Chains A and B, each alone.
Chain A
Amino acid sequence: MISLRPGQVEVSQYQSGVLAVPAVPGAGKTTCLCHLACNLIANDLGPGKKILIVTVMNSAVSNFRHKMRNLLQEQGIQAKGYEVKTLHSLGLLILKQKPEKVLVNSAFDILTGDDRIGIINGLTDRWISSNRDRWQPYLKLSSDDRWYQRGVNSWISGIKDMVNSTITRIKLQGFSVQEQEGIQQRVLSGEDSFLKWAFEIMMEYDRYIRNMGRVDFDDLIVFAYRLLLDDMELRQRMQERWAYVFEDEAQDSTPLQEKLVRILSEKSGNLLRVGDINQGIMGFTGTDPSLFSRFCSEAANQPISVASRSTQDIMDFANHFVGWVRGSFPLEACRNALADQQIRGTYGDDPFPNPVVDGFALTVHDYETGDEELNAIAHKAAVAAKMFPHQTIAVLTRDNWSLNGLAKRLAELKVPWEDVSRGTTADQQSLEDVQTIVSFLAEPDNEVRFRELAERFMAGLDPDELDLLNNYLKERNPEDLLYPIDGFEIGSIPEELWASGSWNKVEELLFDLRRWLEYSHLPADDLILQLAGEMALDKEQRELVNSYAGQISRLLSDGPHHDLFSVTQAQELDRNMKLVIRNLRDRKGYSPKPGTVSLSTMHRSKGLEWDIVYLTGLAVDHFPDSLNQRFPGDIWSVKEEFRNPSALALAQLNAAEAGTGLDPGEIAVEAKIQEISENLRVIYVAITRARERLIISSHKKNTYNKVLESSSIFTEIAAYVKQNSK
């Protein structure tokens, strides 16, 4: 039997209507929502009706489903009456009802996020080469400047980012077809603007992917929304399907998502949205936490503020951070970045009380350089992993560059680590095994690939034997070993390999290779499935390899001229497989392993928790705290007011929608305020990942060894820790 806490109790008594549930980190909102859903199902939703739970991540979907199944089983109820969806899978479900109504073929295929970027970037490159006169004037460098080419490259890369993000913004704004066409018409016939560039490329992009019978993730939601707008019968059917709509992580809603959940709950009137404005950190994907903020102020409101995740010290610090930002953050415009909410600890005989540790739970460290910081943190994490083998440990970074640096250092220290965004090592290895074989079969005369393959599959040999084998192979061509014309020279085999019996393993590999080479005339997908059939794989590994074959099938159906070699060169395959691995990981759910250091960016750490958390890089090169500092995403080579073209294009979109004018200078300032505000929320999210101990670090110099301004954020944290640790 679940014991609910204050706040959770009130939410679980919800019966109908519109309710906002602002919940602090670690408040147990998943458990609470599941409990509520089970109660409602037990009380009978009506014939054929269900509860719809919409959440953001695949991992959250798995978590919800798992909990719902268990709770219902505990109550002796059949695990039915609910559907848990990500927004995209909800869009997919709706679109599949009647794709033809929005001119989508029922056999449509979904373009992955990375494929989409690849296509948009390709089209943008083409646009750039034929519109030099439009983008060049923004550069502040003259063509004889020695940094000119580098500046051009930076600007082009910025244009690509702008186009990608603006296309998403346009799609997720929730325009009807007529509204979008109207805006598009106005923009295309008006003065030149970044938005106009984005529209021009978007038209090309849409035409391109439509001709391939594909939609992207944004389209899934757009088409679903338009279907519901245009087809009243379908709209009614969908509204009747769900007696309740629950939206989790509502702070990460886009305007379109909000419209969609409102439409779906329109008839029943039962909409419950749970979120934490202070964890709204997905602004780069077009989300807007202010939407949930507005919802909270309009609807009935039931906050959940008791949480059992962290020690009192960590909760106090998180609460202090909120108070400091709201009351004293130097840039006044950012003081509303965090909502005024306090995390409260459990009390009484709560079965899951907050953890308690000896001493003060927080520590701060300031280092000279970022490099020094990474070295020291890697070392500390390594020591902690050994000292506390039963504790889970994470190092959180601002960006992937720092994360990769830490991974390298931890590997050097021989400390087990894993990147939370990737699959398990075993899954990846099995895929890499297949990829290595395929690469060799695609070019069997290539000596380097032959040696790579041998090295991979002979990894079990001791290092000296491996060296011997490698040297032996270097002196021979693949065909000499695989298909010797005049017979095999047994005398040439290194004595040691022969004596230890290791040569038998080489023989076995050669035997396998000859057999696999006989498959090389097969289409690439068939070949991979043949290989998979011969390998000992567990269920996840097999799923991964089958997905790889499935991706190749898709590639082959796009272009029958693809052969094995071109398949191995196809970058989209690599991109898609990364996504498959990530999805597989999400479905399994990520559970940190004690003794293994988890590495994550602060963004990706949302929804996770560890006993010990290292929060790194709290310096102004990663987290600027005033308007005159350099922002990580700024394009340095263009004039001041155009350094953030994505923000400018978004403002142009809003202005085009409202029919108002705009001032580029003001927009640039507003964009910086938004970025700093979101950064403050990122830090809040990272802080609240820690259960027992939180170690926060910063550095004084940037990568060019230039002394940085001191960070008001880190200064405040350091002062707080110093004062309270006494």
Chain B
Amino acid sequence: MVPAWTRRLIYIENILYYGNALTGKTTKLIAHYRDLTEKGLKTDSILVLVQDGREITRWREHLLKALPIAGSLQVFSYWGFVQSEVARHWNWAEKELYGSLASVRPSFITAEIAHFLITIMVNDHRMKGKMNTVATPEQMAIQILNNMNLAATFGMKLDEAFLRVQSVETDPARRIVIGEALAVARGFRKTCVESRSFDYSMAVEIFNTILLRDSRYREMLSKRFKVLIADNLEEGVPSQTDLVELMLQSCRSFAVFDPDGGHTDFFGADPDYAWDKLHSLYKIERCLLNPNTILADTVASNIKNGLTLETCSVEKPLIKLIDMDYRSELILSLAEHIEKLNSQGCSLDEIAIIAPVIDRVLEVSLKTLLKSKHIQVQLLNRREYLADKEFAQVMVVLVSLIEKSPLAVSELAQAFKIILGLDPVRSNLLAKFSNSKGLEAALPADLIGRIGFAANNRYREFCDWIIAKRNLSADASIFQQLFGEVMAGLVREEGDLSASRQLIQSAVSFEKSQGKIDLLKGMSFVEGFANMIRQGTIAAEAGKIQGAENNGVVLATPLAIFKSSRSFKYQFWVDGSSESWTPRRAREINNYHLMSKGWNGRWDDSMDIVKKAEGAAKTVSGLILRCTGEIVLLVSEYNSMGQEQEGDLPDIIRGSVGQV
């Protein structure tokens, strides 16, 4: 429900709401939207730019509630907007890019597919003795992809993102590796261009260097949108800032800027650039101060100074530190704290467990310990993957059986358990037999004795069905057939249906990519697709993100907390002495700090230290601003791998709140 006072707002000029977290900035933007439409502006003339897919959902929900009649809502993330514009005006882009019109529609590849393809290319380089670093091909591929994205969003040529990192390096070995990484990036870009399959960086580059430079497009854009509403300008990449600046020439605008934000710098957010470019174009309205500002500022200042210089005395949020030897003790203690709060009547959605890295041990142990107390743990912002869905796994097994692709006994056993309705012991027995003898072989009498006659009949029927399917060509349609003929009858819950739907869609999409991209043509459809599923490359359902609903205790990384726009009464900071609380952005071939437009060409140890401290200060103060009650910092001497932890966050916090 939008507060009544917001109705009084009059928009005679561009307004920028300036303030830190939880000060009601977004609510004001929504109120403006409502006012605008009430005054007769059509929704399709209002462009809303938000941070990501999750924010799109949130905005849409709010607007649908706030508006009497909903027209076509133009709510986009920057990536979504770019993608939609490139597709919409493809003819203009195609002619510029290829010199002629082939009228072949472009396709957009997800970050996961781009990562997969670059990993293959890195592997090829490694086979030739190149890219000699201590990093997996996947880790190298992420850095290459990141450099490409930074280049595009910072308005640079692809090469420059690599050459800047190379320019501050004196070690010849590292310079060579950076050059080799650039060669991979160029190869990948060539593949994208040839196959008309565009990743994020390529699409952004087309948008910025072709569409936005075309006066016809600019004119069309200015006619289409009368108002631009931009949430979280500080999280915008520089090319998004440039877009906002351009649109302000013809649009009225309402926007939000959080001076403590910029948490998505890893993805290219440049809050300083956004502020410098845009603040003079708006009337600034300062929002109320977050009550935790003093403490947040003290801690941030102590982190930046590297020493504990200041102590501040505040009543809230309370900060407590708990020291333990072992990580397992830490998890137990955490579970006990939450259980106690729950028994005292604290609402579970007021509790957040925040860890810089959420590993399986933390996640599963916590879930198991709290499950027995009927307390649910929600992972915030973690995408689910098809590899985690039992129903999807079974479908992949069936296709692999049809294709005679190799399978593990456990995979088969799991499929038999679901399809033939067998218990785990008998399904394992059967899986062992069929894996070694093949589906054609009849079961020996002793095995029939163990699994039972009824199960034998079902098994034989199943085998005959699979064998009959082997005559069909293995393409994406096989999944549809499988679902219709076998799996539809076994659906137990909505999740099974959505997993099947997503699997079928992904198969079709993979098949299309395979048809276009040479790198994927070498592998069989089933093997390639099954591998991607198993490696967790394909998300379970686009747009569906765990933890969106307020249900149970939240487990999240700091970034996920920031993106959620939620505050919590109780925050538990886990692994307090982990260095991951104070990460550095510099990598072997990648350094975000060198990408800014005003970069002075220098990079040294002191800058490294400053940037690291600034990042950590931003994270920690950002969390403090989102706490309304108590923060508990849980520290263990050793991490989950048994290694000592060296992070200095506990000392800084102790000093800041005057605890010993």
Interface residues in chain A, defined as those with a beta carbon under 8 Å from any beta carbon in chain B? 47-48, 78, 80, 89, 92-93, 96, 98-101, 103-108, 110, 177, 207, 209-215, 219, 230-231, 233-234, 236-237, 442-445, 477-479, 482-483, 485, 517-518, 520-521, 523, 525-526, 529-530, 532-534, 539-540, 542-543, 545-547, 549-550, 553, 560-561, 563-566, 580, 583-584, 587
Contacts and interface: CB of A to CB of B under 8 A. Distances in A.
Interface stretch (B126-134, B491-499, B504-512, B542-550): B126-134
A725 B603 CA distance: 73
Interface in B531-566: 534-536
A41 B574 CA distance: 30
A115 to B, nearest CB: 13
Contact of B139 (A107, A444, A545, A561): A107
A215 to B, nearest CB: 6
A521 B408 CA distance: 12
Given A219-B134, A477-B425, A482-B425, 11 more contacts: A99-B134, A207-B129, A230-B171, A485-B452, A532-B368, A539-B325, A539-B328, A543-B327, A546-B331, A550-B640, A563-B410
Given A563-B410, A580-B642, A233 B604 contact: yes
B302 to A, nearest CB: 12
Contact of B132 (A47, A210, A520): A210
Interface stretch (B50-58, B182-190, B580-588): B580-588
Contacts of B436: none
Contacts of A477: 425, 450
A431 to B, nearest CB: 13
Contact of A100 (B137, B423, B536, B587): B587
Nearest to B368: A533
A450 to B, nearest CB: 9
B423 A483 contact: yes
Interface string B398-433: 000000000011110010010000011110110010
Interface string B301-326: 00000110000000000000000011
B428 A543 contact: no
Given A89-B644, A234-B605, A533-B372, A105 B587 contact: yes
A45 to B, nearest CB: 13
Contacts of A518: 424
A546 B331 CA distance: 10
Q: Interface of chain B, helix or strand or loop or mixed?
A: helix
16 contacts: A98-B586, A100-B588, A104-B588, A105-B588, A107-B139, A230-B171, A233-B604, A233-B606, A483-B426, A523-B360, A526-B364, A529-B365, A533-B372, A542-B329, A546-B361, A547-B640
Nearest to B451: A479
Interface string B162-188: 000000000101100100000000000
A478 B426 CA distance: 9
B425 A479 contact: yes
Nearest to B174: A103
Nearest to B122: A211
A445 B450 CA distance: 10
Contact of B584 (A48, A106, A482): A106
Contact of B646 (A96, A98, A100, A211): A96
Contacts of B306: 48
Max chain B Cβ within 10 angstroms of own Cβ: one of A47, A110, A214, A550: A550
Contact of A103 (B173, B331, B536, B584): B173
B425 A445 contact: yes
Interface string B586-627: 111000000000000000111011000000000000000000
Nearest to A567: B410
Q: Which 5 A-B pairs have the closest CB atoms?
A: A533-B368, A233-B605, A105-B135, A563-B410, A529-B364
Nearest to B408: A563
B364 A525 contact: yes
A563 B411 contact: yes
Contacts of B604: 233
Contacts of A445: 425-426, 428-429, 432, 450
Contacts of A529: 360-361, 364-365, 368
Contact of B365 (A108, A213, A532): A532
Given A106-B584, A213-B139, A560 B360 contact: no
Given A233-B604, A560-B535, A543 B368 contact: no
Contacts of A443: 428
Nearest to A529: B364
Interface in B617-660: 638, 640-644, 646, 651, 660
B136 interface: yes
A550 B361 contact: yes
B450 A479 contact: yes
B132 A560 contact: no
Contacts of A564: 410
A560 B361 contact: no
Contact of B364 (A530, A542, A561): A530
B243 interface: no
B332 interface: yes
Given A445-B428, A479-B450, A543 B410 contact: no
A103 B171 CA distance: 10
B137 A444 contact: no
Nearest to B417: A521
A241 B425 CA distance: 60
B117 interface: no
B369 A533 contact: yes
A565 B432 CA distance: 12
B423 to A, nearest CB: 4
B159 interface: no
A546 B365 contact: yes
B390 interface: yes
Max chain B Cβ within 10 angstroms of own Cβ: one of A92, A100, A105, A108: A100
A526 B428 contact: no
Interface in B86-117: none
A533 B604 CA distance: 47
Given A210-B135, A533-B369, A550-B640, A521 B414 contact: yes
Nearest to A545: B328
B485 interface: no
Contacts of A230: 171
Given A443-B428, A479-B426, A580-B642, A543 B326 contact: yes
Interface in B452-506: 452
Given A211-B136, A533-B368, A533-B369, A478 B408 contact: no
Contacts of A583: 642
B61 interface: no
B408 A565 contact: yes
Contacts of B276: none
Contact of A553 (B173, B359, B428, B450): B359
B272 interface: no
Contact of A587 (B325, B424, B660): B325
Contact of B361 (A107, A110, A540, A553): A553
Nearest to B579: A96
Given A583-B642, A587-B325, A101 B361 contact: no
B588 A103 contact: yes
A533 B133 CA distance: 39
A204 B252 CA distance: 63
Given A47-B307, A520-B424, A214 B328 contact: no
Contacts of A80: 651
A546 B424 contact: no
Contact of A104 (B134, B359, B372): B134
Max chain A Cβ within 10 angstroms of own Cβ: one of B424, B534, B584, B586: B424
Contacts of A96: 579, 646
A550 to B, nearest CB: 5
Interface in B328-375: 328-329, 331-332, 359-361, 364-365, 368-369, 371-372
Max chain B Cβ within 10 angstroms of own Cβ: one of A98, A103, A214, A236: A103
Contacts of B606: 233
A222 to B, nearest CB: 11
A479 B583 CA distance: 52
